[in-house]
Amino acid sequence: MDRKTKIAFGGGCHWCTEAVFQSLKGVSNVEQGFIASHDENSSFSEAVILYYDADIISLQVLIEIHLRTHKSTSTHSMREKYRSAIYSFSGTQKIESETILKKFQPIFKNKLITKVYPFSAFKASRKAIQNYYQKNPKKPFCERFINPKLKLLLNDFSNHVNTDFIPKTLKIT
């Protein structure tokens, strides 16, 4: 059974979030840009929409990867721009995501600040910065911020990583 669906994540820089999810088996597309929710979260914040096959990678694994690849337990002055969020596309998805978040809380030393919000609107990033890591893997930003996240994936989620995406120079430790 083919169970392609979509979910959206925001946390840190969308270049990082995009590269993390592009590297996963079962994720067929990642749209980088800005997402808004409703009410006090109606401002646009950096995020990605990803399309995935739930028969290959579960929502629970996607959420765990999201929580572990951005500062999901820290508040900071840039949270308006980098909202720690899961954006749901249905009521069922919202409840499932909230349940998964509660399940993961005990494995984190500090309280998770990541919240589940209803998706409202999306604005794509300009073409020049889409697929940023794929176009610029040697740039200092990629080496400093994205490579450590990809290395974490290789070490802790290797069965979910599409190794064709990740540079051979990153090794499992």
Give per-residue pLDDT as tens, 127-159.
999 999 999 999 999 999 999 999 999 999 999
- pLDDT band, residue 75 (cuts 50/70/90): confident
Q: Give pTM, 2 decimals.
A: 0.93
* pLDDT of the residue at 106: 96
- The answer to whether the beta carbons of residues 97 and 86 sit under 8 Å apart is yes
Average pLDDT of the segment spanning 77-96: 89
In order of start, what are the domains of the chain with their CATH numbers? 4-160 (3.30.1060.10)
Spatial CB neighbours of 118, under 8 Å, sequence gap ≥ 6: 37, 38, 87, 88, 94
Beta partners for 33? 47, 124
Q: Which two tokens stand for residue 74?
A: 């820290």
* pLDDT of the residue at 40: 86
Give per-residue pLDDT as tens, 6-51.
999 998 888 999 999 999 999 999 999 999 999 888 899 999 999 9
The yes-or-no verdict on residue 173 having pLDDT over 70 is no
